[in-house]
């Protein structure tokens, strides 16, 4: 039975479930920052997923990155599976900008998280959900290349 | 014609070429740290690869991570495509340990790189190459860069 790690639960808001992953919005309005968590038990590393799950993870993280890049006109997408502190496998997908507070260094530990207020949280959740939900089961579009 | 970004060329040693990616050893003996660079022109984001290339990338980064984890008895593998400063798509695969100088935070910007001396460089390259290269294959020629 899949259960989200308490730290991820505390730091994020749920966006939607894709075929493999739960999509979470990180409660840090410094960056458009989502986290993908495969809904599998006791997985710490990408290579612990089976081959089909790894391919689905690749599709989902690529699709989410492409959608966020386009919607927010990001300068660069950062995609990372770290997990040194929270052992449940989770993949960060973060839209980066030259004017963001950590640019050009990685975001982790750079500036304190800046929580969303209620209104901006609702707006951001709606925006990210609208990007991901209608096409959640469709393959990644190649057209944007 | 694929050409490695000058910054990656300066910071790494070539290990081998897999089907899609050139494998590089980062010149920082603080961590067993390899970088995978798809041998494609003008690709900055994983989602700019086509579907088959993305699947190959997933296979190669998972395989490299699993081999390094096992060979070095890593506590955790960190896998990340950041690229804010070096725009050529490259995926970091880093073996992490509770006793490494950045644990448990991400490695980037934490402590200065600690270059290999000649002897330890040769040993590390031999070790990583033996993990990734089938015995019959020759190591990557320096000229092929």
pLDDT in tens, B67-117: 999 999 999 999 999 999 999 999 999 999 999 999 999 999 889 999 999
In a domain, residue B50? The reply is: yes
- The answer to whether A63 contacts B47, with C-beta atoms less than 8 Å apart, is yes
What's the angle, vertex CA B105, arms to CA B103 and CA B108, rounded to 5? 105
Task: Of A122, A139, A125, A109, give the one whose Cα is nearest residue A23.
Answer: A125
Does the interface predicted TM-score (ipTM) exceed 0.90? yes
Is 70 exceeded by the pLDDT of residue B136?
A: no
Please give the pLDDT value at position A137: 46
- The answer to whether A45 contacts B57, with C-beta atoms less than 8 Å apart, is no
What b/e sequence results for B101-139 when a residue is b if at least 16 CB atoms lie within 10 Å of its CB, and e otherwise? ebbeebbbeeeeeeebeeeeeeebbeebbebbbeeeeee
How many helices and strands (H and E) does chain A possess?
3, 5
Please give the pLDDT value at position A142: 52
Average pLDDT over residues A10-16: 97
Interface of B with A in 108-137 (CB under 8 A): 108-109
**Confidence class for position A70, pLDDT limits 50, 70, 90:** very high
* Parent domain of B71: 6-132
In whole angstroms, what is the distance from residue A144 CA to residue B34 CA? 29
Average pLDDT, chain A: 93
What is the rounded end-to-end Cα distance, in angstroms, of chain B? 11
In a domain, residue B143? The reply is: no
Is 80 exceeded by the pLDDT of residue A145?
A: no
In a domain, residue B62? The reply is: yes
The residue ranking higher by pLDDT, B6 or A139, is B6
Show Cβ contacts of residue A33 under 8 Å, excluding neighbours closer than 6 positions.
Answer: A25, A26, A92, A93, A94, A95, A107
Please give the pLDDT value at position A138: 46
- The answer to whether B84 contacts A78, with C-beta atoms less than 8 Å apart, is yes
Q: Is A118 exposed, middle or buried (0-12, 13-18, 19+ CB in 10 A)?
A: exposed
In whole angstroms, what is the distance from residue A59 CA to residue B51 CA? 8
The β-bridge partners of B26 are B12
Please give the pLDDT value at position B66: 98
Largest CA distance in chain B: 41
- The answer to whether B45 contacts A57, with C-beta atoms less than 8 Å apart, is no
Average pLDDT, chain B: 94
User: Which letter does DSSP use for residue A133 in this model?
Assistant: S
Please give the pLDDT value at position B134: 72
- CATH number for the domain harbouring residue B19: 3.30.428.10
Q: Which residues of B touch A76 (CB under 8 A)?
A: 44-45, 82-84, 87
In a domain, residue B40? The reply is: yes
In a domain, residue A137? The reply is: no
Name which of A75, A96, A106 is nearest B108 (Cβ-Cβ): A106
Q: How many CA atoms lie within 13 A of A97 on its CB side?
A: 15
Q: Which two tokens stand for residue B109?
A: 């910007």
In a domain, residue B37? The reply is: yes
Is 80 exceeded by the pLDDT of residue B27?
A: yes
Q: Which two tokens stand for residue B143?
A: 């000229």
Please give the pLDDT value at position B143: 47
Please give the pLDDT value at position A129: 96
In a domain, residue B145? The reply is: no
In a domain, residue B126? The reply is: yes
Please give the pLDDT value at position B142: 53
Please give the pLDDT value at position A136: 46
User: Which letter does DSSP use for residue B72 in this model?
Assistant: H
In whole angstroms, what is the distance from residue A80 CA to residue B77 CA? 11
pLDDT tens, position by position, A98-128: 999 999 999 998 899 999 999 999 999 999 9
Please give the pLDDT value at position B121: 98
Is 70 exceeded by the pLDDT of residue B3?
A: yes
Number of domains in chain A: 1
The whole-model pTM stands at 0.92
CB atoms within 10 A of CB A123: 12
pLDDT tens, position by position, A91-100: 999 999 999 9
């Amino acid at each position: 039975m899949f259960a989200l790690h308490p730290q991820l639960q505390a730091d994020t808001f749920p966006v939607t479930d894709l075929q493999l992953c739960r999509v979470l919005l990180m409660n840090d309005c410094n960056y458009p920052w989502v986290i993908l968590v495969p809904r599998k038990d006791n997985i710490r590393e990408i290579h612990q997923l089976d081959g089909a799950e790894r391919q689905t993870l690749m599709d989902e993280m690529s699709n989410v990155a492409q959608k966020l890049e386009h919607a927010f006109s990001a300068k660069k997408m950062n995609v990372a599976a770290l997990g040194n502190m929270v052992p449940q496998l989770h993949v960060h997908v973060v839209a980066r900008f030259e004017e963001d507070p950590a640019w050009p260094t990685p975001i982790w530990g750079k500036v304190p998280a800046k929580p969303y207020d209620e209104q901006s949280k609702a707006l951001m959740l709606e925006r990210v959900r609208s990007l991901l939900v209608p096409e959640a089961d469709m393959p990644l579009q190649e057209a944007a290349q």
